[in-house]
Structure 1
Amino acid sequence: MKNFKTISEYSLKRYFNKSLKLDSYKTDYRLNNLPSYLHETLTGVLLSDGSLERPSLSGGSRLSVNLGEKSLPYILHLHNLFEPFIDTDVSMVTVKLEEKIHTTVRFKTISTPFFSNYYEAFYPIIHKNKKIVPKNISDNFTEVSLAHLIMGDGNFFKERNMIRIYTNAFTHEDVLKLSSVIKNNFDVNNDVFKDRENQYIIRIQSPDLDKTRNLVLPYLHPSMYYRVGLKTNNENFDYKKILDRV
């Protein structure tokens, strides 16, 4: 177990006692460090549409993912990956905004002390709990993380044959940091482009498109191939190729 400095002893005992009453495989997941694949996945998800909620500073944190209805196959995939930490099904929420009906799909995990370590990295108090790109992101950002970043915030611009990653929620400094990590970790050239006032995106242009595809395709859910400009007739993810890492 990691050293959870900010989790109260009461919260840890309560979490452990509840975990010990579950099916053995869920207990194993909930009482041990995240497997490498889930760690790398969570990093990418938190850099895109995932968020962490921490109701109490003395307790654990839970992962929340909320996407548009079109992303249902992908969110079901994430639900499968994090299923040992989930006690509820994927839910659908429909709201009416400006005479248009919008449907989102979402899920939340249980609160766990493991996710509070990520909360402290992505939502530091010094930034008033606003999500940032962590300082040590280069140590944790892998091909799996890049795949989930693209599945969450990627867009293929056919006219320019490029992948655009909509990192608008982060500061210019954070986007530059993430851009540098993509270059340094994978030798993928990219640039930071001003999308609108105080909002910046990352562009991976044609010369590095095939290299990027080769990096992320093993980890892309087939329903998300269009994010890198590819088509697929298969909607099922092959979990066999990642079994040794989950």
Structure 2
Amino acid sequence: MQLSHYCIAYPKLVKSRINNKAYYGLQFMTRTLPCFSVLSLWFYKDNVKIMPHNLYDIITYESLAHIIMSDGARNNRGLNLHLQNFSCKELIFFMNILKIKFDLDCTLHKSRNLYTVYIRSESTKKLYPHIKDLITPSMRYKLLDHFVNLS
């Protein structure tokens, strides 16, 4: 495992149930290291997750692939990023970065009184070649195969 030196134990399989459907995940615990403390300072303020001010400088196609794998979901012909824990202002900041840095067209969608970021179909198609090798095969279903060749 590539991350084993950061971990205090082997990963374990976890199971959760939502609406009587079983979902599985992999859980691991990392060591307390200075490199993680720096990241924590960027992404948390008073134990609340925030959008870091230096996001433009640190976001890459790889980090965007991780966001899609963890918080992404198909929506019609595009992709929803379920980032409801961020404020509307932070999500607009995030969408501006996606537009400027990656030329992605996004809109804000309201879901249960909270907001999600929707990446439009054409932008999802444009994004895919940059992230296809970074997406774990089991997560590629999040990118619509009816307009993207996932092979």
Which TM class, normalised by the smaller chain length? 0.7 to 0.9
For residues 2-56 of structure 1, the C-alpha deviation after alignment (integer angstroms, 9 at most, x for no partner) is xxxxxxxxxxxxxxxxxxxxxxxxxxxxxxxxxxxxxxxxxxxxxxxxxxxxxxx
Shift in alpha-carbon separation, 1:95–1:156, aligned structure 2, 3 A:
closer
CA apart distance, 1:205: 1.3
State the secondary structure of the residue aligned to 1:110: coil
Q: Does 1:167 align with 2:83?
A: yes
Of 8, 32, 35, the residue aligned with 1:114 is 35
Q: Which amino acid aligns with 1:120?
A: L
CA apart distance, 1:179: 1.1
CA apart distance, 1:93: 3.7
CA distance in 2, matches of 1:96, 1:120: 32
Q: Which amino acid aligns with 2:29?
A: K
Structure-1 residue corresponding to 2:129 = 214
State the secondary structure of the residue aligned to 2:104: coil
Shift in alpha-carbon separation, 1:121–1:102, aligned structure 2, 3 A:
same
- Between Structure 1 and Structure 2, the one with more helix by share is 1
Q: Does 1:146 align with 2:67?
A: no
CA apart distance, 1:217: 0.8
CA apart distance, 1:102: 6.1
Structure number with larger C-alpha Rg: 1
For residues 202-227 of structure 1, the C-alpha deviation after alignment (integer angstroms, 9 at most, x for no partner) is 11112222101112112111111111
CA distance in 2, matches of 1:162, 1:176: 18
CA apart distance, 1:173: 1.3
CA distance in 2, matches of 1:161, 1:192: 16
Identity value in percent: 26
TM-score when normalising by structure 2: 0.86
Is 1:189–1:204's contact at 8 Å kept on the other side of the alignment? Answer: yes
CA distance in 1, matches of 2:74, 2:16: 28
CA apart distance, 1:185: 0.8
Shift in alpha-carbon separation, 1:145–1:100, aligned structure 2, 3 A:
closer
CA distance in 1, matches of 2:20, 2:133: 40
CA apart distance, 1:112: 0.3
CA distance in 1, matches of 2:41, 2:131: 27
CA distance in 1, matches of 2:142, 2:16: 26
Structure-2 residue corresponding to 1:195 = 111
Is 1:122–1:134's contact at 8 Å kept on the other side of the alignment? Answer: yes
CA apart distance, 1:177: 1.3
Structure-2 residue corresponding to 1:179 = 95
Q: Which runs of 5+ in 1 are unaligned?
A: 1-79, 234-246
Structure-2 residue corresponding to 1:137 = 55
Q: Which runs of 5+ in 2 are unaligned?
A: none
CA RMSD of aligned residues (A): 2.3
Q: Which amino acid aligns with 2:28?
A: F
TM-score when normalising by structure 1: 0.55
